[in-house]
Amino acid sequence: MTHAQNAAPKAPIKPKELTIHGDTRVDNYYYLNERENQEVISYLKAENAYLDGVLAPVKDLRGKLFEEMKGRIKQQDQSVPYKEGAYYYQTNFVQGGEYPIYVRKKGSLTAPEEVMFDCNQLAKGHNYYNLGGYEVSDNDELAIFCEDTVSRRLYTLKVKNLKTGEIYPEAIPNVEAGGFAWAADNKTLFYVKKDVKTLLGYQVYRHVLGTNAKADVLVYEEKDNQFYMGLYRMKSKKYVAIVSDHNGITTEYRLLDASKPTGDFAVFYPRERGHEYDLQHYQDKFYVRTNFKAQNYRLMEVTENLTPSPSPSKGRGVQMTDRASWKEVIPHRADVFLQNLDVFADHLVLGERKEGLAKIRVINQKSKADHYLEFGEPAYVAGISYNPEFGTHVLRYSYASLTTPGSTFDYNMDTKEKTLLKQQEVLGGFDKSNYVSERVYATVRDGVKVPISIVYRKGTKKDGSAPLLQYAYGSYGSNTEPGFSSTRLSLLDRGFIYAIAHIRGGQEMGRHWYEDGKMLKKKNTFNDFVDCSKFLIQQKYTSPDKLFALGGSAGGLLMGAIVNQAPELYRGVVAAVPFVDVVTTMLDETIPLTTGEWEEWGNPKNKPYYDYMKSYSPYDNVTKQAYPNLLVTTGLHDSQVQYWEPAKWVAKLRTMKTDNNQLLLHTNMEAGHGGASGRFEALKEIALEYAFMLNLLGVQK
């Protein structure tokens, strides 16, 4: 059935007036937020059927792409083992297995393998499965773990005896993934409970094995619903930490001596608006990465066990340190962003970022001599891996580039000897020398230079004839790294150029890059992307009839904004789980995550933010004009961007757009924000996106 023959579904119009600040918006599709309404479900299914009809000519291609991408993955595979305590830990994959198997070996790598969690077995009977992390007790006998079988990010916490294989009766629902920690007594654990409506973690409970979870003790409750909450055991194992984070604005740590589980959590340093910090504990001191008088952060240290003093924040227990006692270790630098750090007995390792690229810096704690690791490619990603032990001279780190598969290295911080432990094996004859990467800069409309990382197959012409897929995210200070993707090869080998635009709203160029792409400066994000597109066209990497754009979640908002602003630049756009109904969502505090997002987008209950938000919100700015071909994807159980945002957007576009281009909506009826679970099922969604683009270019095989 052709696009012309296949009649597009039309959602009924049911106007609803939404009024605030004396301004009334009419939402014709507000009712689509009724997840249990059979009319809504029928509409979503009709859209899925319509998509299948329009893309019928590339049904075989979708299958071929899936098999092609799956064929590059080494199915029988395992991670590089790491040592923690008495055990070596590793993740295995088996032939045909969708999910990981977590194993360990005691004492040496030649010891018998103990299976801790076989997620292929745990997933049986579920359409979706995700093991949201685990933590082993100090005596190595027990493990906390949590599971989500719906994709709503509401996990159930369980405890397994690793010696007997028994899973204990405790099954505590609605917890945060990874938001748990053992105390040092091997029987007490702490966990973060989530609000089932807003999906915000807001309470920390203490649970003792063998007791009724209903009797668990509430040890902390976050009263401010703009804060996200985390919980973990620090690397030194001495402290359990509760972290309250106000989305890029404010941080507050609470610490408890893990050997005293019934004690009170103490505030390390109380929350102050605009002050963010994080901690590393080692021996008798804390390292504090802080943005106090340091936009790009600096590193301080403070001696442990200072006399606690009453917290200036009423009801917050004791304050462990006074900022006047902090001593500077690494000063602020205007051109270097201090991203993270790790601490070893004799070394400090800093993750830094300069000119948009990650750097790893090693400092000898005794001599203070320092050096940077060398990587030698124009665009890459490198990061400090998991290093659970202090008493080692060996740093484990990860590395990849647009042409180099993901690699794990051990690095001797004294001798500077580098050992490649594992590189992602790409099956099917992959040869990195067949591909070329570049790093270029586009000067955008306000004079700022925006980096673009580019990769293509050697021999691809740069005369405007090549199709190009431009990707970006540009929100929350999240960096879009120029890493490797084996799935991307299916485009590169068909003549595509792939470009990552490192637009403002991320943090690639330092903290100011983020600050200049949020709140009342959010439009810089959209303008940067459009101007990067124009640059790529001007430089003959592609042309408007061959240029495609891709973004997901907040990057889907980006896609919605650019097709309103400059639809003529793009042949096709893929908006994955797009956040497009910005005003309505940010006004509704009952929707998951809304309140925590006000410091990213602004609170539209304040008129200046309402007016600004309304001026770019994709749903509110759909107009009678021609739009590019559009593929929009969502998941019925999405916890981050509710399915009705993309559904409403597509319904409105159908009535407003003046073109005959494709407008397709795909709803995964069994998944959420991250799409399908399993390492192969997820490839089907990528195959759909690629087939959509290739079909527009007349490639159907």
Give the catalytic positions in this structure.
553, 638, 673
Neighbours of 620 (CB within 10 A): 18
Torsion of CA 19, 23, 28, 34, to 10 degrees: -30
**How big is the chain, counted in residues?**
701
Contact 216, 222 (CB under 8 A): no
E-only strand ranges, 213-273: 217-221, 228-233, 239-245, 251-257, 266-267
Q: Give dist(CA 548, CA 571) in Å, integer.
A: 6
Is 125 buried (19+), middle (13-18) or exposed (0-12) by CB count in 10 A? exposed
Identity of residue 498: Y
The whole-angstrom distance between residue 642's C-alpha and the CA centroid of its chain comes to 17
**Pairing state of beta strands 130-136 and 113-118?**
unpaired
Kindly state the tokens that stand for 282: 């080692």
AA identity, residue 242: I
Q: Which string of b and e fits 42-68 if b means at least 16 CB within 10 Å?
A: ebbebbbebbebbbeebeebbeebbeb
Q: Which two tokens stand for residue 95?
A: 């032939």
Task: Count CB-CB contacts under 10 A for residue 428.
Answer: 12
Structure tokens at 533: 């597109």
Give the count of beta carbons closer than 10 Å to the beta carbon of residue 278: 16
Q: Find where tokens 């890493």 sit.
A: 483
Coil, strand or helix: which one is 653?
helix
**Cα separations in angstroms, 619 against 379, 448, 588:** 35, 28, 16
HSE-CB of 41 using CA atoms within 13 angstroms: 7
Strand order in the sheet with 370-372: 337-343, 347-354, 357-364, 370-372
Residue appearing with tokens 């240290």? 301
Q: How far apart are the first and last CA of the chain?
A: 17
Task: Supply the DSSP symbol for 162.
Answer: T
- 3-state class of 554 per DSSP? helix
- Distant-in-sequence contacts of 257-263, Cβ < 8 A, 24+ apart: 258/181, 258/182, 258/183, 258/184, 258/233, 259/183, 259/184, 259/185, 261/183, 261/184, 261/185, 261/188, 261/190, 261/206, 262/188, 262/206
